Structures are given as C-alpha cells and as structure tokens.
Structure 1
Amino acid sequence: MEQVFFRDWKSIGHVAITTIIAFVILFFFVRISGKRTLAKLNAFDFVVTVALGSTLSYMMLAIVPIIEGAIVLFLIIALQYIFAWTARSSKKIEKLINAVPTLIFYDGEFIEHAMSKEAVTKGEIFSMIRNSGIDQIDDVKAVVMELNGVITVVRKSKGNGKSSLDDIDLKCTL
C-alpha cells in the first residue's frame, strides 16, 4: 500500500525525464503536422486526439519506451494526414470519414426529425439564436448542426450570391 504515493526517487526521476521527452516529441509532431491536428473536433479528430493522449500518457509513465511511443505518435498523425488528404480527394471517402452538417431549423420551421436525430431541443436552438445576437426568429435563415457538433446560426441575407448553405442537401433534410 505504501507504493501508492511513493515508490522511490529513481522512479520519480524516470517519469520526469520521460514526460519531458514525450511532451517535446508530441509538440514537435503536432507542430509539423499542421493546424488540422488542433482543429475543432469532428468524430475522426476526436479519435486522433484520444489516441495521442493515451499514447502520450503511456510514454510519460514509461509503460512503453520513448522510441516506440514516438513511432506510435508519428503513425497516428501520419494516418490522420492520409485520411484527411484522401477525404479531400474523394467525396465518398469524405462522407465515410466526416459527418455531414444537419439542418435543424430552416425558414422559421423546426426540423423535428433532424432535431431528434441530433438530440437537440427547441430551447437549445433558441439559446444559440440569442447567443448570435438575434432577437427576431424571422431574421434567421437556418440553424445548422455542423460536422464537429457546433451549432451555427445563419442570418437571412439580402444578397443573391452563393450561400453558406449550398453544401447542405435541403431536399433530404426538409
């Protein structure tokens, strides 16, 4: 029972050194892998983040050797890059890897089946509209559950150009 709090100074030193090295390695890999690794999370990015964190903790606690952990970190980030690049190259792969945005409110109407699927209440939608600084529901064109789970409120526009809703299949949603 006494080793729950303290084993010996050698173990403390070992964990301190491996933590510093593991942290620097992860920082280096994240820095060279680009901003995608730090983006707001969609399901795929969440899995990558959990895998990186788990690997880092094993490295810090010296459960796996530093070199093996570094290889795992590198492979996780490389796989993320490969999957992201493949998704960019193929619409089918993109749909497989990434979720699609879901319209949950459109032109004054709550889309009940989409709200149910995404487990969103009318109160949450009203809250997001208020958070966007909008008082009148009539000023809202759409409310969208984005692929990373963020709810976006889109104001009605007076323009005739391309819409930020163009990538959402309105026929399937409504």
Structure 2
Amino acid sequence: MFFQSWTELWRIAVIGVITYACLIAVLRMSGKRTLAKMNAFDLVVTVAIGSTLATILLSRDVALTEGLVALVLLVLLQLSMTWLSIRSRAVRRLLKSEPTVLVRDGAMLHDAMRAQRVTEGEVRQSVRSQGIGDLVDVAAVVLETDGSFSVIPAAQAGRLTMLPGAETSH
C-alpha cells in the first residue's frame, strides 16, 4: 500500500517532531558518555532506542506518552549501568570487553587475533594508517573496546604502561 491518509502522515510528522525533540533533550541531559564511541553495550542500547523511536513513530498502538517513557527508561537504564560499571568491577566486566594487544614488539599475536576475529590485513591497515611502513617499528597494536585499533610506534612506546595488564606502579 502506497498511501493510507493525510491524517496518518500528519500524525507521524507531529509525533516525530515531538519524539525527536524529547530524545535530543534526554540524550543531552544524560551527558557526553551516552554519545561517545560505542562498545557493544552502547550499540545494543542505541539499537534499542532506534527501534523504540521507530515504533513510536509508526505504530498507532503505542501512545506518545508510553513511547517517551520507554525512551527515557532506556536512557536511564544505560546511565545506571555505566554508573554501576564505574563503581563495580564485576558489572564492568559484564558490560564491557577489555582491550586486547594484537601486536607486541613488532610481532603479531596470532592467538589474540584469532580470539578477537581480527585478520592480519586489518592489523596491517591500522599500522599503515598511522604512516608506519614496517611492523618492526611498532611497539604495540591494541584492539580497543569500541573496535578501533590503537597503534603505538616503537619510537614513542616508552615503558608501555598503557597496555592492558601492564604494571603502572614503579
């Protein structure tokens, strides 16, 4: 079906503007963390918010107020979980993965790469994107919790205290 009625189109437009404004307000109140680079937990929450927004816009069975309560609930749950993850190591481990070292002192760590489903080509691309032409010039490549690669050139490595599991005390 291509078109049902002008009333339905106006309903979607009005509900869409109201819902969009409320979503922006709630996300702004929740702080920068909600809109930061996403890890898997953040991605799930974002997809759930998008799905809820689509349901509010397109389903006549969901009242605007019910939909807005659902959006606010999802954002509040995300805020609660991030608050708990800051205060509890167990919650943090449950919600977020740890960074993984994929290259150490110019050598690819194939077991770690296999466990994270990362190919040699992806590691080489991340190294090249940093302007490094030889793997021996790399102290480390780390797969971060958001899926991005951090490349630490050997010339800037220092004691590598920023690597996952590294001792930071003297």
TM-score (norm 2): 0.91
Match of 1:169 in 2: 165
Q: What CA distance in whole angstroms lies between the structure 1 residues aligned with 2:12 and 2:120?
A: 49
- Residue 158 of structure 1 and its aligned partner are, at CA, apart by 6.1
Match of 2:28 in 1: 31
Runs (5+) with no aligned partner, structure 1: none
**Given residue 96 of structure 1, which amino acid in structure 2 is its aligned partner?**
L
Matches within 5 A, 1:38-77: 38-63=35-60, 64-77=62-75
Q: For 1:152, what is the secondary structure of its paired residue? A: strand
Q: For 1:49, what is the secondary structure of its paired residue? A: helix
CA RMSD of aligned residues (A): 1.5
State whether residues 107 and 136 of structure 2, in contact with CA within 8 Å, keep that contact through their aligned partners in structure 1: no
Deviations 1:3-22 (A, max 9, x none): x1100111111111111111
| Residue 12 to residue 136, structure 1, CA distance change in 2 (3 Å) | same
Q: What CA distance in whole angstroms lies between the structure 2 residues aligned with 1:77 and 1:96?
A: 18
Q: For 1:149, what is the secondary structure of its paired residue? A: coil
Q: What CA distance in whole angstroms lies between the structure 1 residues aligned with 2:106 and 2:68?
A: 52
Q: Does 1:116 align with 2:141?
A: no
Q: What CA distance in whole angstroms lies between the structure 1 residues aligned with 2:59 and 2:91?
A: 37
| Residue 41 to residue 56, structure 1, CA distance change in 2 (3 Å) | same
Q: For 1:144, what is the secondary structure of its paired residue? A: strand
Q: What CA distance in whole angstroms lies between the structure 2 residues aligned with 1:62 and 1:26?
A: 17
Instruction: Indicate the percent of aligned positions where both proteins have the same amino acid.
Output: 38
Q: What CA distance in whole angstroms lies between the structure 2 residues aligned with 1:158 and 1:105?
A: 13
Deviations 1:88-132 (A, max 9, x none): 011121111100111111112111111111111112111110001
TM-score (norm 1): 0.89
Q: For 2:98, what is the secondary structure of its paired residue? A: coil
Q: What CA distance in whole angstroms lies between the structure 1 residues aligned with 2:157 and 2:115?
A: 31
- Residue 36 of structure 1 and its aligned partner are, at CA, apart by 1.3
| Residue 158 to residue 59, structure 1, CA distance change in 2 (3 Å) | closer
- Residue 60 of structure 1 and its aligned partner are, at CA, apart by 1.4
Runs (5+) with no aligned partner, structure 2: none
- Count of residue correspondences: 164
Match of 1:101 in 2: 99
Q: What CA distance in whole angstroms lies between the structure 1 residues aligned with 2:108 and 2:134?
A: 15
- Residue 163 of structure 1 and its aligned partner are, at CA, apart by 2.6
